[in-house]
Structure 1
Amino acid sequence: MLSATLIARGLGPLRRGWARVLAVVCLLAVALAAAWDTAVYFALLLGGRIATPLPFPSSVLVLALSLALAVTAARSGPARVWSSGQVARSLATAAGVACALPLLLMLTFGPTRYAREADAIVVFGARVYSDGTPSLALADRVDEGIRLYHRGLAPSLIMSGAIDEDHGVSEPQAMKARAIAAGVPASAIVLDELGVDNRGDGRADCRMVAAARGATGAGGQPLLSPAAGQAAVRARMDGYQVCRALRAASSTAGALIIAMTGHGLASDTENVKKAGFDLHLIKPVDPEALARIIHDSPLVHAPRLDLR
C-alpha cells in the first residue's frame, strides 16, 4: 500500500481527498515506526548495549523523508504533464535512490557491534559441501563466534544447524571442527543438529544453558557434567544415542533429560520414550517455560532464576 501511494504521488498530485488522507496516514505510520526505531537505537547506544563508530541510524533519514512526503502528499494541485526530460530525470533519481539505500545500510547498520557478555554464543548453520567444507557464509559465522569466545564473552558455543538430506554432512559437525581447529575446546561446544527455527532454537538454547549453569543433579553432580558434555559433542551421535549414553553413565543416570524435536510425529514420541527422555518438547520451545521446567524439576537443584 505504501509503495502504491508513493508511486501515485510521484506521478502527480493526488486529486481525490480520500487518496490524500490515505497517503498521509501511511506515511505518518512509517514515520512513527522510524521514530520508535530511532529511540530504541539511541537507548541501546547510551546503555552500552551496542557500539558504533557512526552513531547515526538510517531510521533518522526514513523519518525525515516520510514526514516530508506526508506534507507534500496532503497538498492538492493540477494534473502533471510529463516531458521526456522529466521522465528521464525521474528514472535516474529512482535508480540513484535504489543504489544509495544499500550503501546507507552498510554505513549505518554494518559497523554496529552487538557483542556483550552472555551465557552462550549461538551460531546458526548454513550450507556445507559434501566434503565437509563450510560455505563462505557459514565460515564467516563460525569465525565470528570463535572471536567472541576468545574474547571471553561467553563460556559456550552452540552450533545449531541441520544434517544435509542429500549428502548427509552435518552442519554443526563442520562448525565444530572449524572451531576446534581455531583453539576452542571441544568441551565448550554444544551441537544442535535439529535446528528448525533460528529464533526459537537460539532463545531456547541460550535460556537452557543459563538455567542449567550452576545447577546440580539429584546426586549432587553438576547438571552439565563432563560426561554429559562429552556425550553431547561426540561425533555422529544423535539425540537418542546421547540420551542412552547419559542414562548408562552412573553420574547422569538420574539426570533430567529433555528432548526437543522439530516435529511431533508419533514415531518421534515413541523414539523419545524408548531412549529414556523425561520430557518431549516440540520446537520452537518457549524459553521461559523451559527454564521453569528445569527449575521446578525434582531431579534438579538449581539456583533461583530471574524469568522476567
Structure 2
Amino acid sequence: MELQFLGTGAGMPSKLRNTSALVLNLSAEGKGYWLFDCGEATQHQILHTSLKPRKISKVFITHLHGDHIFGLPGLIGSRSFLGGNEPLDIYGPVGLEEWLETTLRITNTHLNYALQIHEIEDGIVVEDDEFLVVANNLQHVIPCLGYRIEQKPLPGKLLIDNVKEAGVPSGPLLKQLKDGQDVTLEDGRIVHSHEVTGEPQDGFRVAILGDTSYCPAAVELARNADILVHEATFDMDTGNLAKEYGHSTIGDAARVAQEAGVKTLIANHISARFMPSDVAKLKEQGKAIFSDLYIAEDFSRFEWKDGAVIEWRS
C-alpha cells in the first residue's frame, strides 16, 4: 500500500501546493487506485507521476468545497479518453450527484464507462472480502466526511516444515492452503489449512480525514490506525483562524493522533501563508505533541511496508 499526495494546499492552488487530492495506491492488493478528493488541476498533477487515470477505480469526496471537487469533471472525462472503460464508483456527501451530473450534462461530456455515484452519510461505505471503508461526519463549516480504510486480516504465512511433513507438492495446492482452503492430496489425505499456516496477520488501517476542527469523530475514525492523514491548515499561533473557518492547527492534528493511538501522522492541507522555511516550525510544534509526524508535500509518497512508513520524495 502506498499513499501519493497530488495536492496538499488549502483553499486555492499556490506555486508550491496544489489543491486537495490524494491517491491510495492499492495496485499490489489488486484494487487499483482509490482517489480521495479531486481539487482543481488534479489531472495535471497526475501527469507528473507514473499514475494512470484509467486505473482509478474509486473516488471518495470529503465535502463539496471547490478546492476538493473542482478537478473531478475534467478527470472523469480524461479517464474516458485515456482508455478507462471499467465502472467508476464515486462516494461523497449529499449534493455531489446533482452537481456532477449537471456539470456533465451541460458540458455534454461523454463517458465510455458506467459512472456510479453514491451519496453517503455515517457508516459502512464499502465492504468486500478484503477491505472495509467506514465514513463519519466531521466538524467543518459544511457537511464533511472522513474515511477509515481497513484491510481485513491476511492469511497466515505457510509453515514450510509443516508443508513438507504433510507431503504437499509445490504448485497451486500451496496457494489454496495459504488462502485458507483445505486440500486433498492424490493419496486421498486431507491437509487442513490451519495445520500448515501461521496465525492470520493484521492488515493495515488508514484514516483520511477531510477538513475539520478537532472533534471526537476524527479520533474515532483514526483509532489505532497505522496512518492518519489529517489537515493542518494553521500553526499554533493562528488557532483563532482555525476555529473561525472550521479547520485545524498542526497541534489539533497531533492531538487527534495522540488520543487515537495511531502509529504515524501525515499532516496536509497546509495554508499558503506558510513558506518552505516555515515547515520546520510546523513540524516542531506538532512533534511536541506527537513525535511520528510528517508534513506532506505535493508528490510525496509514503509506503506502508512491514509495519513501518517509508517516505519517498519526487
- TM-score under structure 2 length normalisation: 0.27
Q: Which has the larger radius of gyration?
A: 1
Structure with greater helix share of residues: 1
* Higher relative contact order (CA closer than 8 Å, sequence separation 6+): 2
Flag the structure with higher strand content.
2
